[in-house]
Amino acid sequence: MPKDVIDKEPDYTSRVPAFTFADTLQEQEAQLKDNPLIQRFAESRAEMAGDPHRPAYHYVNPEGSLNDPNGLCFWQGRWHLFYQGYPPEDTRQHWGHAVSDDLIHWRDLPYAIYPNPEEKCFSGSALAEDDRVIAIYHGIKTGTMVAVSSDPLLLNWEKVTGNAVIPLAKPGEDPLPYNIFDPCIWKKDGMYYALTAGTLREGPGGKPVRAEFLHRSKDLATWEYLHPFIENDRYGLVGDDGACPYFWPIGDRHILLHFSHMSGGKYLLGDYDKERDKFVVTYGSDFNFGPVGPCGVHAPSACPDGKGGVIVIFNMNPGKPTQGWNQIMSLPRRLTLIGKDQLGIEPAGDIASLRSDHRHIDAMKLPANQEVVLEGIQGNAMEIAAEIDPKGAPMVEMNVLQSPNREEFTRIAFFKNRGYAHRDRGKQDERDSVITIDSSYSSVLPDVGSRPPETAPVYIEPDEPLKLRVFVDRSIVEVFVNGKQCVAVRIYPGRKDSLGVSLRSQGRNAQLNSLNAWGMKNIYGHQGQ
């Protein structure tokens, strides 16, 4: 075969319509009103609005499949969320795009980044500077790609150099000393730094363990490889990889959020040694507490909130075939540092704007071993805020999406002081408590994939009441515990009457201090779902 044929790059031009937009917000908004993609998105949402498992207030893309969230960033007063989208006329990964003023109400925008010269636009992150936003991502069959945008709604993107800035090794070349996959970006002392995800065979018996490989650049076009970035990491499972990394300051420390194709969303806490350009790990834990699928927390996209915290959003894996769509996004979470090695985890965004039909229950006793059905508290798109004093009960539970005869229910259980002991905290008898979402009986449908109970540790002070914020949205349940932990799973009730809520205290009496519940409005309005 002639050399000029061998060297010729394939044409991966997308078949999705592409548009160039004006440079002012007023002009862009006018163009979007008549944009064919926006009109198509609205029609697609309307067509799927009747699906009983399609969320009402969690973001789900308007058409086709959804995968990793990408490039969450704050630009000119708005939050931008990108994601791996699969347009119907060309199902290779493109970067889908949505914008929000409050992290809750999302508006669809046209696809942002299209493939070519890369075959597919895989995951990456974004960095908002004063005059532009930089997106860095993995281009299949090329390597690390960088694109920039500076218009008000980030509608126009230009790829730096037009090719991969950290290229894959070509056939016949020596293997690279680093992996090229799912990059993230930050800036220090006038230099850009990027991690590329991967593994090193430094685990037991030469098995793979996660690694992140550090590069730096002055101009985004030419990058220098430095070294593996993580030091003292003992918090992963053998076989975890460090996909979808996001490295940001949190409080006076740093956090590395990432994804394992084996065990889902994870994070590491530690200190950024800026002299050696190393991340020295002191703690690590999970956002997903079991296998990555079905129904688990998948990959993060994260951005500093400007107040010392980090905003993160995850895609959630499906557990049932759904016509024309599959994954959804979690609620955004705000992560803060509340101890040297402890995260605070709270729902983020203007959640209060969704609330309607407020219902309240005053303090009441929860008799031992009796189910207490909460009359008038029901729904499949709702928020529940409850404060419970377990007293001496070893376990208290809340059931949601419960049918009248318990053919279906999703069980949220709290086990006080039933977690691991922590001698390193200086108190020999100090133990975590445990929060569980058990979806074993969430659905009677035959095509729903079962997930083992999602079980996470949470430390509760001896006299601290249990504070639950529970978000139910048709096919997802998210539970925030005392601002210190969150567990989430996908669920698929098959019965229309699976709407009830009940409480139970096991073994001994407990006390419900208060409970508030709200129905939650649909965020899509005239767009349908």
Mean pLDDT of the chain: 95
For CATH 2.115.10.20, the residue range(s) in the chain are 3-34+65-347
Q: Which pLDDT value is given to residue 525?
A: 73
Q: What is the pTM of this model?
A: 0.96
The pLDDT of 388-412, averaged and rounded, is: 97
Q: Which pLDDT value is given to residue 426?
A: 59
Render the burial of 202-215: b for 16+ CB within 10 Å, e for the rest: ebeeeebbbbbbbb
pLDDT band at residue 450 using 50, 70 and 90 as cut-offs: confident
- Name the nearest CA neighbour of 490 among 54, 69, 84, 86: 54
For CATH 2.60.120.560, the residue range(s) in the chain are 351-527
DSSP three-state, residue 224:
strand
- Name the nearest CA neighbour of 270 among 340, 333, 202: 340
Superfamily of segment(s) 3-34+65-347:
Glycosyl hydrolase domain; family 43 (2.115.10.20)
* Cβ neighbourhood burial of 393 (10 Å; 0-12, 13-18, 19+): buried
Q: Which pLDDT value is given to residue 6?
A: 47
Q: Is the confidence at residue 3, as pLDDT, over 80?
A: no
Q: Which pLDDT value is given to residue 5?
A: 47
The CA–CA distances, whole Å, from 254 to 100, 208, 284, 422 equal: 26, 24, 12, 23
Contact residues for 114 (Cβ-Cβ < 8 A; gap 6+): 14, 16, 18, 94, 95, 121
Q: Are 520 and 473 in contact (CB under 8 A)?
A: yes
Q: Is the confidence at residue 93, as pLDDT, over 50?
A: yes
Q: Which pLDDT value is given to residue 527?
A: 47
Longest distance between any two alpha carbons in the chain, whole Å:
83
Q: What is the rounded radius of gyration, in angstroms, for the C-alpha atoms of the chain? A: 24
Distance CA 270, CA 211 (A): 15
Q: What is the DSSP letter of 450?
A: P
The pLDDT of 131-141, averaged and rounded, is: 98
| Tens-digit pLDDT profile for residues 351-398 | 999 999 999 999 999 999 999 999 999 999 999 999 999 999 999 999
| Tens-digit pLDDT profile for residues 172-218 | 899 999 999 999 999 999 999 999 999 999 889 999 999 999 999 99
| Tens-digit pLDDT profile for residues 461-505 | 989 999 999 999 999 999 999 999 999 999 999 999 999 999 999
| Tens-digit pLDDT profile for residues 98-108 | 999 999 999 99
Which secondary structure element, helix H or strand E, spans residue 41, and what is its range? helix 36-48
Q: Can you list the positions of beta strands (E) in 408-523?
A: 410-415, 433-438, 454-458, 466-473, 476-481, 485-490, 500-506, 510-520
Q: Which pLDDT value is given to residue 424?
A: 66
Which CATH class name applies to 351-527? mainly beta
